[in-house]
Structure 1
Amino acid sequence: DDHRDDGRNESGGNWPADLSTLDRGSPFILSLGTVERRKNVPQTVRAFARVADEHSTVNLVIAGAPGNDQAAVDQAINQLPDAVQRRVVRLGSINDELKSRLLFNASALAYPSLDEGFGFPLLEAQQAGLPVVASTAGSIPEVAGSAALYSAPTDVDALAANLHLAITSETVRTKLISQGHRNLERFSWASTADQLTQLYIDIVNGAAS
């Protein structure tokens, strides 16, 4: 089964016109964020091409404001076979409501950034119970913790293999979703307050020593 049926897609319903090619239950990989070079979206497109060869019903949805990597994304999509190109949906900028619906209905989040300061979509995906497939660049491993499948941002084969696992293996999916929920606890207000309190204690103790 290319798509999970775990009760998370209650926010589905009728998609907007740009997503009319997706039925309510159609599996899709989600690329979320401004289309800029550091987001490495062309790599997601190339990895999707490999996954699409094995999974004839899986689509790719690219959602995010236009950025400085539009031309490279265009080129990567244009290099796909026509039949695969038709399975790529580009939405551009989206509102919070549609972003939430995409997160709750996607099969996996692809996030192979070349660099990342924090990466809020990682936590948004984990909050929605969406498996994360990401790169090892920047702060991503620190933010996503053990609740993601990782590969080097330049390794398209590893990215494709991880996407394949995330959308086909129920064991992997269940593990990622469960670990994602636990990972979110590190970013709760209570946890943040505790960490700040400990920081102040350490500063005071350091000043007194």
Structure 2
Amino acid sequence: MSRTRIDQFLPSVAAGDGVTNSSLFIRSLLIELGYSSDIYSFAVPAQLTDHVRPASGYSPGTGDLLLYHHSMGHDHGSWLLNQPVRKRLVYHNITPAEFFPANGALRHYSILGRKQLIDWRAAFECALALSPLNRAELAEAAYPDIITLPLLIDSNRLNGDHSRPHFMGEAEGAGYYLSVGRLVENKQQYILIEAFYHLLQHEDRGRHLLLVGGMASEDYARGLHLHIRNLGLGGRVHLTGKCTDAELRWLYRHASQYWCASAHEGFCMPLVEANHADLPVLSLARSNIPDTLGESGLLLEQDDPVTFAMAANLIDSAPELRAKLVAAGQRNLLRYERDNLKQQLHHWLQAAHT
């Protein structure tokens, strides 16, 4: 492959979004490998105008390559398929439609995205799966040439500045449990809220629960607020909204534990971010989460808030267990080392595919 241009296309981008962060990470690796590279999208918020170009200005040259990130259905298929350029797929996974309310936009685009994944197979010379779960779905869709490479975690970004979030109050002094993810049905934050309630009944250490992430489902978010109120947890459970990268780093570094109850994750980057911050992880063993965590993290098979609360109390009460989880997290990080990922990306780009 001649080193001309390797660009990327995402139908939409958002600050702090996992797919967007992945494309930024890949672009940095491409530039280090000597390629010219830009990211293109049809929806570019003001925060990203320095990093992402409007798709309307994309004009490929002979021999160029376009990496297309697929994570949900969209209405720009004709534009993508009609671009006169070689294409490779980067697959981030699609949350199954059954997690979303009937007749809602998320359900519609989930169904559409899986249809597009199959219908567009012939448009791509090969595919890159960002996790073993994603690879299995690509194989089920009959993609013939797949590699698995977790191009999601930029270790340089993990080591950035810290900034205390403006919303921190009582939770800072008392300590807190942390979970990061959009407020959407498949994340199952209601399990974490109930687990926190049961934990307080056993032993109230004065801690708080911070649920950090933007709202993707208004009905679900309203349900979480109601759940918090019904359990009498106002002032102890906080739906903070989105945070900057610097604020997230601060939160990881000062939390007591990282919690995850998600029912479906194509990868789940916050788990690795928690490893990096020496934060013990407690999670349900669902979808790709066991693979992402590797040997690190305390994984639960049951979607039971009481069991979750008991496990959290065990981590709080057993310093030796906490130390083992933190050490395992540091070993897990070696799988996502930047130079290793860059070399694997280089080999994939150099490989001939037909």
After TM superposition, is the score higher than 0.5?
yes
Which amino acid letter does the alignment assign opposite residue 42 of structure 1? Y
* Aligned counterparts, 1:45-84, within 5 A: 45-53=193-201, 54-68=203-217, 69-81=220-232, 84=233
* Aligned counterparts, 1:1-209, within 5 A: 16=166, 18-24=167-173, 26-53=174-201, 54-68=203-217, 69-81=220-232, 84-152=233-301, 154-192=303-341
- Distance (Å, rounded) in 1 between the aligned partners of 2:234 and 2:295: 33
Which amino acid letter does the alignment assign opposite residue 35 of structure 1? L
- CA deviation after TM superposition for structure 1 residue 80, in Å: 1.3
- Distance (Å, rounded) in 2 between the aligned partners of 1:64 and 1:182: 27
Cα gap change, 1:80 to 1:124, in 2 (>3 Å):
same
Larger helix proportion of the pair: 1
- CA deviation after TM superposition for structure 1 residue 56, in Å: 3.3
- CA deviation after TM superposition for structure 1 residue 147, in Å: 0.9
Cα gap change, 1:14 to 1:128, in 2 (>3 Å):
closer
Considering only CA atoms, is the larger Rg found in Structure 1 or Structure 2?
2
- Distance (Å, rounded) in 1 between the aligned partners of 2:183 and 2:294: 24
Which amino acid letter does the alignment assign opposite residue 215 of structure 2? P
- Distance (Å, rounded) in 2 between the aligned partners of 1:192 and 1:15: 32
> Structure 1 vs Structure 2: percent identity of aligned residues?
25
- CA deviation after TM superposition for structure 1 residue 163, in Å: 1.5
Cα gap change, 1:34 to 1:13, in 2 (>3 Å):
closer
- Distance (Å, rounded) in 2 between the aligned partners of 1:23 and 1:111: 20
Structure 1 regions of 5+ residues with no counterpart?
1-10, 205-209
Normalised by the size of structure 2, how large is the TM-score? 0.49
Contact kept? 1:137, 1:153, Cα under 8 Å: no
Which amino acid letter does the alignment assign opposite residue 186 of structure 1? R
Contact kept? 1:61, 1:90, Cα under 8 Å: yes
- CA deviation after TM superposition for structure 1 residue 103, in Å: 0.3
Normalised by the size of structure 1, how large is the TM-score? 0.80
Cα gap change, 1:153 to 1:71, in 2 (>3 Å):
farther
Aligned to 2:6: none
- Distance (Å, rounded) in 2 between the aligned partners of 1:148 and 1:90: 24
- Distance (Å, rounded) in 2 between the aligned partners of 1:71 and 1:52: 23
- Distance (Å, rounded) in 1 between the aligned partners of 2:321 and 2:343: 32
Cα gap change, 1:191 to 1:168, in 2 (>3 Å):
farther
- Distance (Å, rounded) in 2 between the aligned partners of 1:192 and 1:161: 37
- Aligned residue pair count: 188
Aligned to 1:5: none
- Distance (Å, rounded) in 2 between the aligned partners of 1:197 and 1:186: 17
Task: Point out which structure has higher relative CO (alpha carbons under 8 A, 6+ apart).
Answer: 1
Cα gap change, 1:98 to 1:15, in 2 (>3 Å):
closer
- Distance (Å, rounded) in 1 between the aligned partners of 2:291 and 2:313: 23
- Distance (Å, rounded) in 2 between the aligned partners of 1:60 and 1:115: 21
- CA deviation after TM superposition for structure 1 residue 74, in Å: 1.4
- Distance (Å, rounded) in 1 between the aligned partners of 2:162 and 2:199: 24
Contact kept? 1:114, 1:153, Cα under 8 Å: no
Aligned to 1:3: none
Contact kept? 2:177, 2:210, Cα under 8 Å: yes
Contact kept? 1:52, 1:59, Cα under 8 Å: no
